[in-house]
Amino acid sequence: MLTLKVLSVLLSYPRAEMLAALEEMAEVLQREDLLPMPQKTALIALMDSWRGADLLDLQERYVDLFDRGRSLSLHIFEHVHGESRDRGQAMVDLMRLYQARGFEISARELPDHIPLFLEYLSQQSREEAVALLRDAMPVLSLLGARLTERQSPYSALFDALASLAGATASRETYRQQAAAEGPDDTLARMDEIWEEEAVSFLGNSGSCEDSAAGPQPVIWGRPPHARRHRRVD
């Protein structure tokens, strides 16, 4: 499913190579024809808006959107487990799943980073890719709803993922949740959060060594309902 690879690239930090491949990615979407016309049209429009755009501007907008708070973090387990010990074990299980299928991570990125996860799915059979995508949809649907609330064109990527997973029926529920959420206060609490995470990380240092050998089922869970955030625009 090269369509998943395209979505992975489009959701990654913008680079010159991505802009150079926009035409090729558009052709993949047309050739595989896995998406309904509205989702496909929205993705093509997103890519068209990047043609001729200043790369630094695209990068700045990306960082402002995804790296300035937790509400739109692209790490799946951050929305499920926060900084609890369960997150570390979920990372280990996902990494073992990758390794069992011969998928090696060369980039300095956590295994639950959504672009990386989508790249892995793009290399699996359609049946397995859709099954794993459905497992992650509670988080992906909520992220898509939050992006829709911000009127971000990146919401088109998550609409496409919902279509591929066949999970469009519950999208309105997540949109209602996103609309009811408070602002994201991550930046205002950054010093406190870093202190909490340092303590949590040190306290969890032995969990990887204690886990059973071999790939374990990945427990995706469900994102906490109506977590409060302070929006950073």
Q: What is the mean pLDDT of the chain?
A: 78
Q: Which residue has the higher pLDDT, 186 or 58?
A: 58
pLDDT at 204 over 90: no
pLDDT above 70 covers what percent of the chain?
Answer: 69
Categorize the per-residue pLDDT at 187 as very low, low, confident or very high, splitting at 50, 70 and 90: very low
Per-residue pLDDT, 109 = 79
Here the tokens at position 60 are 């700045």
Averaged pLDDT, 190-215 = 40
Q: How far apart are CA 207 and CA 88, in angstroms?
A: 7
Closest CA to 140 of 124, 120, 162: 162
pLDDT at 210 over 50: no
Categorize the per-residue pLDDT at 211 as very low, low, confident or very high, splitting at 50, 70 and 90: very low
Residues 6+ apart with CB under 8 A from 108: none
Here the tokens at position 205 are 């240092």
Per-residue pLDDT, 167 = 73
Per-residue pLDDT, 215 = 46
Provide the 8-state DSSP code for 224. P
Predicted confidence (pLDDT) per residue in 118-142, tens digit:
999 999 999 999 999 998 998 999 8
Contact between 111 and 98 (Cβ < 8 Å): yes
Q: How far apart are CA 232 and CA 181, in angstroms?
A: 13
pLDDT at 178 over 80: no
Averaged pLDDT, 196-209 = 37
Categorize the per-residue pLDDT at 2 as very low, low, confident or very high, splitting at 50, 70 and 90: very high
Averaged pLDDT, 83-88 = 66
Q: How far apart are CA 191 and CA 197, in angstroms?
A: 10
Per-residue pLDDT, 172 = 64
pLDDT at 54 over 50: yes
pTM attached to this predicted model: 0.75
Contacts 24+ apart (CB under 8 A), 171-177: 171/141, 171/144, 171/145, 174/141, 174/142, 174/144, 174/145, 175/145, 175/148, 175/149, 177/142, 177/145, 177/225, 177/226
Predicted confidence (pLDDT) per residue in 16-51, tens digit:
999 999 999 999 999 999 999 999 999 999 999 999
Closest CA to 74 of 116, 103, 18, 132: 116
Per-residue pLDDT, 181 = 65
